[in-house]
Structure 1
Amino acid sequence: MRHTSTNFSAGIFGPVTITPSDPYAAYSALRRSGPVHRIAGPDGSPSWLVTRYDDVRRALADPRLSVDKRSALPGNYRGLNLPPALDANLLNLDPPDHTRIRSLVTRAFTPGRIESLAAPIRRTADELLAPVVRRGQADLVAEYAAPLPITVICDLLGVPEEARTDFRAWTDTMLAPPGPDEARAAIGAMLRFFAGLIEGKRSVPGDDLVSDLIAARDDDDRLSDDELTSLIFLILFAGYENVVHLIGNATLALLDEPVLWERLRSDRSQLPGAVEELMRYDGPAPLAIRRFPVEDVEIDGVVIPAGETVLLGISSANRDTERFPDPDRVDFDRAVGGHLALGHGIHYCVGAPLARLEIAIALEALLDHAPGLHLGVPRSDLRWRDSIRTRGLLALPVMCWNADKTKRPGQ
């Protein structure tokens, strides 16, 4: 048995420092030093970090690695504690409950329903970009990358417009709470919001995903009340938060490489492949949801005891040179597929087709409306979320001008 011990505290894996602006050098050093590392998290809780592509991919599909917190050793789980009405979601469930609930969502996320969203997504993107182009400058996260996916996912679920700003504030508070009281307040507000939403849709069903899930709950009794609420919460939360950062990170990657930006401008047929490569290059989730072995599990010669916490390094795997040659470069000619940004196995992102559609449309709208898009501040001034679990910009200041303008704003 091999055993690598690494301390993690405030962004430091032993001698390796993970910085929000560039974590990939640290991931590279960790891959070189070993496939699996014993770490201590910011709160002192012990975990095992898996860093290499082949190991991460296999582990994502390994049924011995449970996502159910009941599989953890007593006191070993110190993550976010949600009430049962938000906690009984797919990211905390193993088969057979996971299989039962996921099948309901998969049937609701039909290709036809996703395809029907393309025109509304583009319309929303155009509306959001119109004032940006008129002004010639913007924070692209606050004014585009954030409101676009919240509009899309709320339309899909049937969430009324007046509740959408509140939801964005609640999710931001949950991800980076100023304190425990604020986090509890946000969770409580969410619970009341979902209870009201479900009650309203039960009384007056609509052509939306929440109404479909309520029908599954009430007509076929295939969901408990907590499962129904948790499922709506997960779809809304993941469908908003992850896509915000996918759009922001992908846009920045293109702004860093003007040749690739111009390449997409001239040939939109490359967008699908570009989306896959951009997700691989800088995805929003550095780590998969934590796992707990139901028995002792060996990963590349390292034995991880049952019940301990396992973290699977998605971002590290997506930059593994053994799987992706020259991985620190965006390469549109790279063979499409194989990245783990959307997961793998039974927990593969159920909303992956929608995420791909949103990113492609978001980028195409930018290419159409703001062909001269460029950073509005020095690259070194950009600030990232200070988290090893979320990879996303706090803001993306840009300058832009449309195809009819010959000069940049201010010239």
Structure 2
Amino acid sequence: MTTTDHDDITVLDAAFKADAHDRYAELRARGPIHKVQILRGLDTWVVLDHDLAKAALTHPALLKDATPAAEALEAVGFTAHRPESGLGVNMLNADPPDHTRLRGLVAAAFTRPRIEALRPRVAEIAEGLADAMAPLGTADLVRSFTGPLPVQVISELLGVPQDGRDSFRAWTSQALGSTSERQREAFVSLNGYLAELVAEKQRSPGDDLLSALTAVYDQRDGRLSKAELVGTANLLVVAGHDTTVNLLGNAMVALLRHPEQARRLRERPELLPGAVEELLRFDPPVEFTPMRYAAEDITLGGARIPRGGAVVVALTSVGRADPAMAPAERDVLDVRRPDVRHLSFGHGIHHCLGAPLARLEAEVGIGTLLRRFPDLATAVPPADIPWIPVGLMRGPVALPVTFTPVPTTA
């Protein structure tokens, strides 16, 4: 665990994130909430306990409005809360009533029936990626499969042209896994691209979600401002694929480290829906939630948090801190576990709108890899798998694997 020299505050830096599960366990043993540093110079309270996390995520005084923390955020150069250099004006960064209005405008696109209708296309994309890998015998799964699958799915859903997909994948990775300056550069680039794309949808709408949102904006009835339109597009691009990239990556790391669990899924693919929930609990793709800010002085889990104090929930910790599970079971991966509960998609009004899509992509993607590559194995020792070093996300940066090559039949 890395601490500062002067006040013993834990720093959630690259060394911490590389050994996150053990480090969170050490912190949990000392209490359910701790003051930490995620950004140098900005004290933040991190919630580690499952039940306290649910309380924090629904606390009426913990809001997305960063106004009480603005001075402290500016002092450390954190600008992700600004519309022009962050995710922008969108439901993730909004409190009611704006949150309610913005979420309602896109909710219809993410209902379970609509998402389930995408299954054949998601399967087609997954099979195509597996076909490209099959003759090689070795691959980086992040580059060859777990990265491009969600990018292609969300691009088709939103109407992002082919020539922009590689760029926004790079921008979102940099925005969510970099220090402040590089994060700001990435968000500025992504926002500029999306503003141009939205303008193009206004000129020439298509049969896609961004065109539908642009039509709402064009009604000029106050339902969606231009800033909200670009911010919503930004959120859908980032949250619509980067979290799923890491969900797939974490799941495959876990299964490759537990080959008996992978074998069970190969033998019983009907277990996949429940296995996805267990994998989400075991190693979620979002390490900690975006910051919430105390609108007034509050006490949370015995910690006194002043007005403007930043609070995050460590989802990586919470998944292994459920009091409903026996302590000996919390660190065990079991794809047959019934009735898995987790907070990996959040809780309360900000529960992930895209959860059905992420579940579908995980089920199809994991199933395809296990079926197509029965002897899939890591090409490096588990300790050598590189992890995202900073930011909200948790996932492998690269995942080298080997498998028996299958020649093409062309």
TM-score (ref. length: structure 2): 0.90
Q: Distance in 2 between matches of 1:298 and 1:184?
A: 32
Equivalent residues in 2 for 1:342-353 (5 A)? 342-353=345-356
Q: Which amino acid aligns with 2:56?
A: A
2:31 aligned to 24, 31, 34, which one? 34
Residue matched to 1:409: none
Distance change (3 Å), C-alpha of 1:26 and 1:137: same
Greater mean alpha carbon deviation, residues 219-228 or residues 150-159: 219-228
What secondary structure is seen at the aligned counterpart in 2 of 1:289? coil
Q: Distance in 1 between matches of 2:231 and 2:47?
A: 28
How large is the RMSD of aligned CA atoms in angstroms?
2.3
Q: Distance in 1 between matches of 2:80 and 2:166?
A: 24
What secondary structure is seen at the aligned counterpart in 1 of 2:34? strand
Q: Distance in 2 between matches of 1:175 and 1:126?
A: 28
What secondary structure is seen at the aligned counterpart in 1 of 2:139? strand
Q: Distance in 1 between matches of 2:374 and 2:61?
A: 49
The 8 Å contact of residues 76 and 308 in structure 1, kept in 2 or not, is answered as no
Residue matched to 2:313: 312
What secondary structure is seen at the aligned counterpart in 2 of 1:262? helix
- 1:76 Cα deviation from its structure 2 partner: 4.5
Q: Distance in 2 between matches of 1:121 and 1:160?
A: 17
Residue matched to 1:174: 175
Equivalent residues in 2 for 1:317-336 (5 A)? 317-320=318-321, 322-325=323-326, 326-336=329-339
Q: Distance in 2 between matches of 1:276 and 1:178?
A: 31
Check if 1:51 corresponds to 2:53: no
Greater mean alpha carbon deviation, residues 48-57 or residues 187-196: 187-196
Q: Distance in 1 between matches of 2:179 and 2:394?
A: 19
Q: Distance in 2 between matches of 1:101 and 1:179?
A: 27
Q: Percent identity?
A: 38
What secondary structure is seen at the aligned counterpart in 2 of 1:74? helix
What secondary structure is seen at the aligned counterpart in 2 of 1:49? strand
Q: Distance in 2 between matches of 1:264 and 1:100?
A: 41
How many residues are aligned here? 395
Residue matched to 2:241: 240
Q: Distance in 1 between matches of 2:282 and 2:316?
A: 8
Distance change (3 Å), C-alpha of 1:171 and 1:323: same
Q: Distance in 1 between matches of 2:174 and 2:303?
A: 37
Greater mean alpha carbon deviation, residues 290-299 or residues 161-170: 290-299
Distance change (3 Å), C-alpha of 1:257 and 1:184: closer
Q: Which amino acid aligns with 1:305?
A: P
Q: Distance in 1 between matches of 2:46 and 2:132?
A: 44
Residue matched to 1:193: 193
Q: Which amino acid aligns with 1:84?
A: P
Q: Distance in 1 between matches of 2:34 and 2:190?
A: 36
Residue matched to 1:21: 18
- 1:10 Cα deviation from its structure 2 partner: 6.3
Q: Which amino acid aligns with 2:42?
A: S
Deviations 1:314-335 (A, max 9, x none): 1111111524332111122333
Equivalent residues in 2 for 1:92-241 (5 A)? 92-177=93-178, 180=181, 183-219=183-219, 220-241=221-242
Residue matched to 2:358: 355
Q: Distance in 2 between matches of 1:270 and 1:147?
A: 25
Q: Distance in 2 between matches of 1:239 and 1:75?
A: 30
Check if 1:368 corresponds to 2:365: no
Q: Distance in 1 between matches of 2:114 and 2:270?
A: 23
Q: Distance in 2 between matches of 1:184 and 1:56?
A: 29
The 8 Å contact of residues 292 and 308 in structure 1, kept in 2 or not, is answered as yes
What secondary structure is seen at the aligned counterpart in 2 of 1:37? strand
Q: Distance in 2 between matches of 1:82 and 1:312?
A: 18
Residue matched to 1:15: none
Q: Distance in 1 between matches of 2:339 and 2:19?
A: 24
1:7 aligned to 2, 5, 9, which one? 9
Q: Which amino acid aligns with 2:71?
A: P
- 1:43 Cα deviation from its structure 2 partner: 1.1
- What residue ranges of structure 1 are gaps of 5+ in the alignment? 13-17, 406-411
Q: Which amino acid aligns with 1:138?
A: A
Q: Which amino acid aligns with 2:193?
A: F
Deviations 1:188-221 (A, max 9, x none): 4323311221122112222111011112222243
